Structure 1
Protein backbone atom coordinates (compact mmCIF):
# COMPACT_ATOMS: atom_id res chain seq x y z
CA UNK A 1 0.00 0.00 0.00
CA UNK A 2 1.17 3.53 -0.80
CA UNK A 3 0.68 6.32 1.72
CA UNK A 4 1.11 9.91 0.61
CA UNK A 5 2.16 12.18 3.47
CA UNK A 6 1.10 15.82 3.26
CA UNK A 7 3.99 16.92 5.46
CA UNK A 8 2.59 20.02 7.12
CA UNK A 9 -0.13 20.71 9.64
CA UNK A 10 -1.09 23.97 7.93
CA UNK A 11 -4.82 23.88 7.07
CA UNK A 12 -5.67 24.40 3.38
CA UNK A 13 -2.05 24.03 2.30
CA UNK A 14 -0.67 23.74 -1.21
CA UNK A 15 1.12 20.66 0.12
CA UNK A 16 -2.22 18.90 0.56
CA UNK A 17 -3.32 20.01 -2.93
CA UNK A 18 -0.18 18.45 -4.43
CA UNK A 19 -0.72 15.28 -2.36
CA UNK A 20 -4.28 15.02 -3.75
CA UNK A 21 -2.95 15.52 -7.28
CA UNK A 22 -0.43 12.70 -6.81
CA UNK A 23 -3.19 10.48 -5.42
CA UNK A 24 -5.32 11.12 -8.52
CA UNK A 25 -2.44 10.31 -10.88
CA UNK A 26 -1.61 7.14 -8.97
CA UNK A 27 -5.27 6.10 -9.16
CA UNK A 28 -5.28 6.73 -12.92
CA UNK A 29 -2.26 4.42 -13.14
CA UNK A 30 -4.08 1.68 -11.21
CA UNK A 31 -2.44 2.28 -7.84
CA UNK A 32 -4.41 2.75 -4.63
CA UNK A 33 -2.93 5.40 -2.37
CA UNK A 34 -4.20 6.91 0.82
CA UNK A 35 -3.25 10.34 2.14
CA UNK A 36 -2.06 11.12 5.61
CA UNK A 37 -2.27 14.85 6.20
CA UNK A 38 -0.36 15.93 9.27
CA UNK A 39 -3.36 18.17 10.00
CA UNK A 40 -4.97 14.90 11.18
CA UNK A 41 -2.56 14.50 14.09
CA UNK A 42 -4.28 14.75 17.48
CA UNK A 43 -4.21 18.18 19.14
CA UNK A 44 -2.33 16.65 22.07
CA UNK A 45 0.11 14.82 19.82
CA UNK A 46 3.35 16.20 21.33
CA UNK A 47 2.21 15.55 24.90
CA UNK A 48 0.63 12.13 24.32
CA UNK A 49 2.30 10.28 21.46
CA UNK A 50 6.05 10.54 21.73
CA UNK A 51 8.46 8.09 23.36
CA UNK A 52 6.28 5.01 23.18
CA UNK A 53 3.11 6.49 24.61
CA UNK A 54 0.09 6.26 22.30
CA UNK A 55 -3.26 8.00 22.29
CA UNK A 56 -6.06 6.06 20.62
CA UNK A 57 -6.27 8.71 17.89
CA UNK A 58 -2.59 8.39 17.00
CA UNK A 59 -2.61 4.60 17.35
CA UNK A 60 -5.25 4.43 14.60
CA UNK A 61 -3.11 6.64 12.33
CA UNK A 62 0.02 4.61 13.09
CA UNK A 63 -1.70 1.26 12.45
CA UNK A 64 -2.60 2.34 8.91
CA UNK A 65 0.79 3.98 8.37
CA UNK A 66 2.71 0.87 9.46
CA UNK A 67 0.83 -1.26 6.90
CA UNK A 68 2.25 0.82 4.06
CA UNK A 69 5.23 -0.49 2.14
CA UNK A 70 5.75 2.71 0.15
CA UNK A 71 5.55 6.37 1.13
CA UNK A 72 5.38 9.50 -0.99
CA UNK A 73 6.32 12.55 1.05
CA UNK A 74 5.19 15.96 -0.23
CA UNK A 75 7.34 18.35 1.78
CA UNK A 76 7.02 22.13 1.82
CA UNK A 77 9.96 24.38 2.58
CA UNK A 78 9.93 25.75 6.11
CA UNK A 79 12.83 28.02 7.00
CA UNK A 80 15.19 26.40 4.50
CA UNK A 81 14.33 22.84 5.50
CA UNK A 82 11.29 20.67 6.20
CA UNK A 83 8.48 21.29 8.72
CA UNK A 84 9.14 20.51 12.36
CA UNK A 85 5.83 18.66 12.58
CA UNK A 86 7.21 16.13 10.05
CA UNK A 87 10.24 15.51 12.28
CA UNK A 88 8.03 15.11 15.34
CA UNK A 89 5.79 12.74 13.38
CA UNK A 90 8.65 10.46 12.31
CA UNK A 91 10.04 10.59 15.85
CA UNK A 92 6.68 9.35 17.16
CA UNK A 93 6.46 6.46 14.68
CA UNK A 94 7.58 2.97 15.65
CA UNK A 95 11.32 2.63 15.23
CA UNK A 96 12.53 0.90 13.17
CA UNK A 97 9.47 -0.99 11.88
CA UNK A 98 7.51 2.00 10.53
CA UNK A 99 10.19 2.66 7.90
CA UNK A 100 12.86 -0.07 7.90
CA UNK A 101 13.49 -1.56 4.43
CA UNK A 102 10.47 0.25 2.97
CA UNK A 103 10.54 2.64 0.00
CA UNK A 104 9.78 6.33 -0.47
CA UNK A 105 9.61 9.07 -3.06
CA UNK A 106 10.20 12.71 -2.14
CA UNK A 107 8.59 15.84 -3.58
CA UNK A 108 9.69 19.26 -2.41
CA UNK A 109 7.56 22.34 -2.90
CA UNK A 110 8.17 25.99 -2.15
CA UNK A 111 6.83 29.40 -2.88
CA UNK A 112 10.40 30.39 -3.77
CA UNK A 113 12.53 29.38 -6.70
CA UNK A 114 14.30 26.25 -5.43
CA UNK A 115 11.51 23.79 -4.63
CA UNK A 116 12.84 22.92 -1.16
CA UNK A 117 16.11 21.41 -2.36
CA UNK A 118 17.73 21.74 1.08
CA UNK A 119 14.73 20.39 2.96
CA UNK A 120 14.56 17.33 0.72
CA UNK A 121 18.29 16.80 1.21
CA UNK A 122 17.90 17.12 5.00
CA UNK A 123 14.96 14.71 5.06
CA UNK A 124 16.86 12.24 2.85
CA UNK A 125 19.48 12.01 5.60
CA UNK A 126 16.78 11.17 8.15
CA UNK A 127 15.35 8.54 5.79
CA UNK A 128 18.76 6.93 5.36
CA UNK A 129 19.08 6.67 9.13
CA UNK A 130 15.79 4.73 9.18
CA UNK A 131 17.03 2.52 6.31
CA UNK A 132 14.16 3.82 4.22
CA UNK A 133 15.08 3.42 0.54
CA UNK A 134 14.63 6.64 -1.44
CA UNK A 135 13.74 6.79 -5.12
CA UNK A 136 16.64 8.64 -6.77
CA UNK A 137 14.30 10.89 -8.79
CA UNK A 138 13.31 13.61 -6.34
CA UNK A 139 11.13 16.45 -7.60
CA UNK A 140 11.50 20.07 -6.57
CA UNK A 141 8.48 22.15 -7.53
CA UNK A 142 9.28 25.83 -7.16
CA UNK A 143 6.85 28.76 -7.20
CA UNK A 144 4.06 26.38 -6.26
CA UNK A 145 1.36 29.05 -6.40
CA UNK A 146 2.00 29.44 -10.14
CA UNK A 147 2.05 25.66 -10.69
CA UNK A 148 -1.52 24.96 -9.51
CA UNK A 149 -4.60 25.82 -11.55
CA UNK A 150 -8.05 26.78 -10.22
CA UNK A 151 -8.82 23.06 -9.69
CA UNK A 152 -5.68 22.57 -7.54
CA UNK A 153 -4.06 20.51 -10.31
CA UNK A 154 -0.56 20.86 -11.64
CA UNK A 155 -0.81 22.03 -15.23
CA UNK A 156 2.59 23.15 -16.54
CA UNK A 157 3.79 20.73 -19.20
CA UNK A 158 7.28 20.12 -17.79
CA UNK A 159 6.01 19.66 -14.23
CA UNK A 160 3.29 17.22 -15.30
CA UNK A 161 5.85 15.30 -17.39
CA UNK A 162 8.28 14.96 -14.47
CA UNK A 163 5.52 14.04 -12.00
CA UNK A 164 4.40 11.24 -14.32
CA UNK A 165 7.98 10.06 -14.76
CA UNK A 166 8.50 10.05 -10.99
CA UNK A 167 5.25 8.16 -10.40
CA UNK A 168 6.08 5.56 -13.07
CA UNK A 169 9.51 4.99 -11.51
CA UNK A 170 7.96 4.86 -8.02
CA UNK A 171 5.42 2.23 -9.05
CA UNK A 172 8.19 -0.03 -10.37
CA UNK A 173 10.60 0.81 -7.48
Structure 2
Protein backbone atom coordinates (compact mmCIF):
# COMPACT_ATOMS: atom_id res chain seq x y z
CA UNK A 1 0.00 0.00 0.00
CA UNK A 2 1.45 3.35 -1.05
CA UNK A 3 0.94 6.38 1.20
CA UNK A 4 1.57 9.98 0.15
CA UNK A 5 1.49 13.08 2.33
CA UNK A 6 0.31 16.12 0.38
CA UNK A 7 1.87 19.33 1.68
CA UNK A 8 -1.00 21.46 0.41
CA UNK A 9 0.59 24.83 -0.28
CA UNK A 10 3.08 26.15 -2.78
CA UNK A 11 4.56 28.52 -0.19
CA UNK A 12 8.22 27.63 0.38
CA UNK A 13 9.58 27.10 3.89
CA UNK A 14 6.05 26.71 5.23
CA UNK A 15 4.76 25.32 8.50
CA UNK A 16 2.70 23.00 6.30
CA UNK A 17 5.83 21.36 4.94
CA UNK A 18 7.36 21.20 8.42
CA UNK A 19 4.23 19.44 9.70
CA UNK A 20 4.30 17.10 6.68
CA UNK A 21 7.86 16.13 7.57
CA UNK A 22 6.81 15.50 11.18
CA UNK A 23 3.97 13.21 10.06
CA UNK A 24 6.35 11.42 7.67
CA UNK A 25 8.87 10.82 10.46
CA UNK A 26 6.27 9.59 12.95
CA UNK A 27 4.61 7.32 10.38
CA UNK A 28 8.00 5.85 9.48
CA UNK A 29 8.60 5.14 13.18
CA UNK A 30 5.24 3.31 13.16
CA UNK A 31 6.29 1.20 10.16
CA UNK A 32 4.66 3.18 7.32
CA UNK A 33 6.86 4.58 4.57
CA UNK A 34 5.09 7.70 3.31
CA UNK A 35 6.41 10.03 0.65
CA UNK A 36 5.77 13.76 0.63
CA UNK A 37 4.37 15.53 -2.41
CA UNK A 38 4.75 19.24 -1.83
CA UNK A 39 2.69 21.54 -4.01
CA UNK A 40 5.86 23.59 -4.40
CA UNK A 41 6.74 20.85 -6.92
CA UNK A 42 3.89 21.80 -9.27
CA UNK A 43 4.85 23.28 -12.64
CA UNK A 44 4.81 27.09 -12.54
CA UNK A 45 2.42 27.23 -15.48
CA UNK A 46 0.11 24.45 -14.29
CA UNK A 47 -3.01 26.48 -15.10
CA UNK A 48 -2.02 26.75 -18.76
CA UNK A 49 -0.22 23.44 -19.13
CA UNK A 50 -2.07 20.78 -17.14
CA UNK A 51 -5.73 21.62 -16.72
CA UNK A 52 -8.48 20.41 -19.04
CA UNK A 53 -6.85 17.13 -20.10
CA UNK A 54 -3.59 18.62 -21.35
CA UNK A 55 -0.51 17.19 -19.66
CA UNK A 56 2.97 18.64 -19.53
CA UNK A 57 6.09 16.56 -19.07
CA UNK A 58 6.68 18.45 -15.80
CA UNK A 59 3.35 17.20 -14.38
CA UNK A 60 3.80 13.56 -15.42
CA UNK A 61 5.94 12.54 -12.37
CA UNK A 62 3.36 14.17 -10.08
CA UNK A 63 0.51 12.32 -11.79
CA UNK A 64 2.49 9.09 -11.47
CA UNK A 65 2.83 9.60 -7.69
CA UNK A 66 -0.92 10.28 -7.38
CA UNK A 67 -1.85 7.30 -9.56
CA UNK A 68 0.32 4.94 -7.49
CA UNK A 69 -0.97 6.20 -4.13
CA UNK A 70 -3.60 4.23 -2.22
CA UNK A 71 -3.81 6.50 0.85
CA UNK A 72 -3.34 10.26 1.07
CA UNK A 73 -2.70 12.41 4.11
CA UNK A 74 -3.49 16.04 3.27
CA UNK A 75 -1.81 18.68 5.45
CA UNK A 76 -3.88 21.79 4.67
CA UNK A 77 -3.18 25.35 5.83
CA UNK A 78 -5.89 27.95 6.16
CA UNK A 79 -5.98 30.49 3.36
CA UNK A 80 -8.66 33.16 3.72
CA UNK A 81 -11.03 30.95 5.71
CA UNK A 82 -10.65 27.90 3.47
CA UNK A 83 -8.00 25.77 1.78
CA UNK A 84 -5.37 27.06 -0.68
CA UNK A 85 -6.49 27.59 -4.26
CA UNK A 86 -3.39 25.76 -5.45
CA UNK A 87 -4.74 22.60 -3.77
CA UNK A 88 -7.91 22.82 -5.87
CA UNK A 89 -5.83 23.45 -9.00
CA UNK A 90 -3.76 20.37 -8.16
CA UNK A 91 -6.88 18.23 -7.72
CA UNK A 92 -8.32 19.56 -10.97
CA UNK A 93 -5.10 18.85 -12.88
CA UNK A 94 -4.99 15.19 -11.81
CA UNK A 95 -6.66 12.60 -14.02
CA UNK A 96 -10.31 12.15 -13.08
CA UNK A 97 -11.72 9.87 -11.80
CA UNK A 98 -8.85 7.40 -11.39
CA UNK A 99 -6.50 9.64 -9.39
CA UNK A 100 -8.64 9.65 -6.26
CA UNK A 101 -11.67 7.41 -6.88
CA UNK A 102 -12.21 4.94 -4.02
CA UNK A 103 -8.87 5.79 -2.43
CA UNK A 104 -8.51 6.86 1.20
CA UNK A 105 -7.54 10.15 2.82
CA UNK A 106 -6.93 11.70 6.22
CA UNK A 107 -7.09 15.47 6.69
CA UNK A 108 -5.06 17.76 8.94
CA UNK A 109 -5.82 21.47 9.14
CA UNK A 110 -3.44 24.08 10.45
CA UNK A 111 -3.44 27.82 10.88
CA UNK A 112 -1.62 30.61 12.60
CA UNK A 113 -4.96 31.52 14.19
CA UNK A 114 -6.70 29.56 16.88
CA UNK A 115 -9.10 27.32 14.91
CA UNK A 116 -6.76 25.18 12.80
CA UNK A 117 -8.57 25.60 9.47
CA UNK A 118 -11.87 24.05 10.56
CA UNK A 119 -13.80 25.64 7.67
CA UNK A 120 -11.17 24.79 5.08
CA UNK A 121 -11.15 21.15 6.11
CA UNK A 122 -14.95 21.07 5.82
CA UNK A 123 -14.76 22.69 2.37
CA UNK A 124 -12.08 20.25 1.22
CA UNK A 125 -14.07 17.29 2.57
CA UNK A 126 -16.83 18.24 0.11
CA UNK A 127 -14.34 18.19 -2.77
CA UNK A 128 -13.05 14.80 -1.62
CA UNK A 129 -16.55 13.34 -1.45
CA UNK A 130 -17.33 14.56 -4.95
CA UNK A 131 -14.20 12.81 -6.20
CA UNK A 132 -15.20 9.60 -4.34
CA UNK A 133 -12.20 9.90 -2.03
CA UNK A 134 -13.00 8.15 1.26
CA UNK A 135 -12.22 10.57 4.08
CA UNK A 136 -11.31 9.23 7.50
CA UNK A 137 -13.67 10.55 10.18
CA UNK A 138 -11.01 11.80 12.59
CA UNK A 139 -9.80 15.15 11.29
CA UNK A 140 -7.19 17.15 13.20
CA UNK A 141 -7.16 20.96 13.50
CA UNK A 142 -3.95 22.54 14.77
CA UNK A 143 -4.25 26.21 15.62
CA UNK A 144 -1.39 28.58 16.49
CA UNK A 145 0.96 26.37 14.51
CA UNK A 146 3.89 28.71 15.20
CA UNK A 147 3.69 27.66 18.89
CA UNK A 148 3.56 23.92 18.22
CA UNK A 149 7.12 23.03 17.14
CA UNK A 150 10.21 22.65 19.29
CA UNK A 151 13.74 23.49 18.10
CA UNK A 152 13.98 20.12 16.29
CA UNK A 153 10.67 20.66 14.41
CA UNK A 154 8.81 18.13 16.51
CA UNK A 155 5.37 18.77 17.92
CA UNK A 156 5.63 19.09 21.68
CA UNK A 157 2.29 20.37 23.02
CA UNK A 158 0.87 17.39 24.92
CA UNK A 159 -2.69 17.55 23.52
CA UNK A 160 -1.51 18.07 19.94
CA UNK A 161 0.87 15.12 20.17
CA UNK A 162 -1.91 12.98 21.66
CA UNK A 163 -4.43 13.84 18.91
CA UNK A 164 -1.95 13.48 16.03
CA UNK A 165 -0.78 10.13 17.37
CA UNK A 166 -4.37 8.91 17.59
CA UNK A 167 -5.03 10.09 14.04
CA UNK A 168 -1.89 8.39 12.69
CA UNK A 169 -2.74 5.12 14.44
CA UNK A 170 -6.26 5.18 12.98
CA UNK A 171 -4.90 6.18 9.55
CA UNK A 172 -2.60 3.16 9.51
CA UNK A 173 -5.62 0.89 10.13
CA UNK A 174 -7.93 2.82 7.74
| Range into which the TM-score falls when normalised by the shorter chain | over 0.9
Shift of 1:64: 1.4
Over residues 98-151 of structure 1, what are the superposed CA-to-partner deviations in whole Å (9 max), with x where a residue is unaligned? 000000000000000100000000000000001100110000000000001122
Pair 1:65-2:56 in alignment: no
CA distance in structure 2 between the aligned counterparts of 1:46 and 1:154, rounded to whole angstroms: 35
Structure 2 residue aligned with 1:121: 122
| Coordinate RMSD, CA, aligned | 0.6
1:23-102 pair list within 5 angstroms? 23-102=24-103
Question: Could you say which residue in structure 2 is the equivalent of 1:138?
Answer: 139
TM-score (normalised: structure 2): 0.98
Distance in 2, matches of 1:166 and 1:8, equals 21
**How far apart are the structure 2 equivalents of 1:35 and 1:91?**
19
* Residue aligned with 1:35, SS: strand
Q: Secondary structure at the match of 1:82?
A: coil
Structure 1 residue runs of 4+, over 6 Å off? none
Residues paired across the two proteins, number: 173
Correspondence 1:17 to 2:25: no
* 3-state DSSP of counterpart to 2:74: strand
Take 1:9 and 1:21, find their aligned partners in 2: how far apart are those partners? 18
